[in-house]
Amino acid sequence: MKKIFTGMMFLLSVFGLSAQQNKVSLIPQPVELQVMNGSWTLTGSASVGYNKSEGRKVAEMLAQQLNQPTGFKISAKQGTTAAIQLNLNATADAKLGTEGYTLVSGAKGVVITANQPAGLFYGMQTLLQLLPKEIESRKAVKASWTVPAVKITDYPRFAWRGLMLDVSRHFFTKEEVKRYIDEMVRFKYNTFHWHLTDDNGWRVEIKSLPKLTEVGAWRVERHGQFGSRLDPKPGEPATYGGFYTHEDIREIVQYAMDRHVTIVPEIDVPGHSMAAIAAYPELSCTKNPNTMVNPGTNFAEWYGNGTFRMFIENTLNPSDEKVYEFLDKVFTELAQLFPSPYIHVGGDECYKGFWKNDKGCQDLMKKLNIRHVEDLQGYFMNRVEKILTDKGKKLLGWDEILEGGISPGATVMSWRSMAGGIEAAHMGHDVVMTPTSHCYIDYVQGEVTIEPPIYASLRMKKSYSLNPVPEGVDAKHILGGQGNLWTEQVATLRHAEYMTWPRGWALAEVFWTPDEKKNWENFVKRVEHQFTRSDVGEVKYSKAIYDAIIRTRMKDGKLWVEMEPEAPGLDIYYTTDGGMPDHYSPKYSQSFEIPDGPVTLRVITYRNGAPIGHLITLKPADLKARAE
């Protein structure tokens, strides 16, 4: 009987531990996580304590975030005996670094310990994820505010964990930018790359160059997909757009700094400068006074091999000294507004055709003794870097800045593939990995016939598979990585959220968690848990992981279909007889041949006997196109 009793107690403890582990769902996954028996419940009598004055801001922020959904009046106070205690180490723990933390929760409360306030802040984010989903509510709700007993030791894999938001193609308000930052920090991102200028709008006030916002921040209003919109009409008013004043910038920068986020501003030059040229046409080669901020029309021809031709000039003139005087004014004000050590200067997709035909550029090439017009970009970038260095800033640019030569101190953001980053790292440059193959979260994330259209696709599983340190590269040169959200097709914050999450959660884990601790199936379970929390927090996200991946191929003149789920545990059902599929329809198990004739394929996914994915309908032309 004693053995039976002991065995029963063991089984109960195992089941109890398993139940507790199911309650712990964190993104990104911590370095070390131990789930124990027991829990602690937050009540209105609790307080948030901090042992050193440097922890006060985080403690106050945590108290505020707890009070909103609970309706409590929890306060922050200096001391060492609070139910939620934030402690800064007297002697730094080398393992934790500047952003790591430990979190221990149990029957008496929660203790978060770190070397720096940033570590306390990230420990706070973990604590919020340990609480029930109702903690995400924007108003007071009733819930059992229970925290499971855990021991966590956690620190980031990379120092640079970023997301980029393009506000040129569509302007996002000051409050929208703040909300996007709030959503980022929940998943321990620490860098906000702010794409402020492009062909479609100049978004930052430069007081010494007022036309940049008087003219460059506004365009004629157009609707529909970028690249297919109508050109501006003569005399048509430019009413769509906006910009951030110096006061707006300072407010957002401080807001980000309070949340341990560095904002890296981008002024995209010498290409992607049509908004600047619309304001100051004399900065271009053609000096066309009729240049307007582009509203999303097609102004380039792409040849499919990375080369292209511009119909309208959008490139600054590298041979004109006035251009460098202009940039000096821009970067002087920018350097005063942004404490970031980096200023991103773009450098991508710079069309050299107008340079090739410009006398001033040809004269400069002779003076520099260079034969190829492409080398003028290297000259331009070195001039820009000198301007930035004089202002105490480091140059950061897309991987095209490697073309034509850059100084050893320049930092490269590798976007076209991993190859640019590998080349840059081998040359001794610091690198931020952000390849289109894994990090372009403006790409279609699911079934192309359902999702908002764009020219390429990127599934969450692909994002999750990224390893920013390629084989053979010295890891010391890889600062980290980031996801990029270009907004040609993204006009609202809700749409921006939809495109960012859940792929942004995948990248958050890539940048924080050790690569060997990543597990796709486990991650999907945590993503699904985060779906429910996002619902409470009114954050929009995509459920594309529930949609079947459908491919077709031709074999012996016949069309064959191959399908697979992205999320584990899904069943795929389909019809080819004109009926609507359900769980009584044929269940996909292996590739199959499409019958001859005008056959439409319909596909849906189920889990545990219930539909979960979108209905996908592919007509004969769609099926054949996928095989090409």
Catalytic annotation, residues? 198, 272, 349
Cα 15 to its chain centre, rounded Å, is 38
CA distance 511 to 544: 22
Which region, left, alpha or beta, applies to residue 248 given φ > 0 means left and ψ of -120 to 50 means alpha? alpha
Write out the two tokens for 188: 């321990």
Adjacent-strand bridge partners of 616: 603
CA distance 272 to 346: 8
CA distance 388 to 406: 13
φ, ψ of residue 66 in degrees (nearest 5) = -75, -35
Coil, helix or strand for 435? coil
CA distance 387 to 383: 7
**Residues near 311 by beta carbon (within 8 Å), at least 6 away in sequence:** 298, 299, 300, 301
CA distance 58 to 188: 14
The helix (H) or strand (E) run that includes residue 126 is: helix 117-130
Beta strands in 404-548 (DSSP E): 411-414, 431-433, 478-485
Adjacent-strand bridge partners of 485: 165
What DSSP state is assigned to residue 377?
Answer: H
Adjacent-strand bridge partners of 104: 111, 151
Residue 101 C-beta-side C-alpha neighbours within 13 Å? 27
The helix (H) or strand (E) run that includes residue 532 is: helix 520-537
Query: 224-251 as b/e, with b when 16 or more CB fall inside 10 Å?
Result: eebeebeebeeeeebebbbbbeeebbee
CB 101 within 8 A of CB 122: yes
CB 617 within 8 A of CB 580: no
CA distance 557 to 555: 5
Write out the two tokens for 204: 């930052």
CA distance 26 to 379: 47
CA distance 535 to 136: 9
Coil, helix or strand for 456? coil
Beta strands in 12-128 (DSSP E): 32-41, 48-50, 76-78, 84-88, 101-106, 109-114
What is the C-alpha end-to-end distance of the chain, expressed in Å? 70
Reduced 3-state DSSP string for 307-339 = CEEECCCCCCCCCCHHHHHHHHHHHHHHHHHCC
State the CB neighbour count (10 A cutoff) for residue 44. 12
Write out the two tokens for 22: 């199911």
| Angle 166-64-123 from CA coordinates, rounded to 5° | 70
Cis peptide bond N-terminal to 270, omega within 30: yes
Residue with tokens 């440097």: 54
